[in-house]
Amino acid sequence: MAMPKNHQVETNTTFTHTIWLDAKIWDENDDSKLAQKKFREHFGRCNFVTNTTDCEKVIKKSVDGTTFVLIVSGQIGSRFVPEIHENPKYSSIYVYCGNKTEHEKWAINYEKVRCFLLLSIFIIVSFI
């Protein structure tokens, strides 16, 4: 089944949105800007947040039946995923990092963590 352009997937009464959590998401470098632009083009609506407090605010404000795919940097994920993993609002978690081996050590304990992406690969994937 093809995903709707806006990545607001409806299954029965469940809507899935994306949150991209990274302290450096708003860095004024070209790679960051390009990744955000391409991500929005391909997946539509996404909440870009720089800290866990803002991430949790997005979750708390969501309507019933909404779930979230979390894209998180490895550094933040190593601290945040253990806190939120049991929350049913998070359907899956994707970790991007520069050191997959290091982050696999903590992530192996959390079944919602689906894959690891190097940031440069994530940018390339967003062009597809």
Look at residue 126 in the predicted model and tell me its pLDDT.
43
Which residue carries 């690969």 as its tokens?
121
The tokens for 123 are 């940018």
Look at residue 1 in the predicted model and tell me its pLDDT.
39
Sign of CA dihedral 23, 26, 32, 36: positive
Predicted TM-score (pTM) of this structure: 0.76
Strands 90-96 and 66-73: parallel
Contact 85, 110 (CB under 8 A): yes
Quick check: 58 pLDDT over 70?
Answer: yes
The tokens for 86 are 């049991």
Look at residue 93 in the predicted model and tell me its pLDDT.
93
Side chain identity, residue 21: L
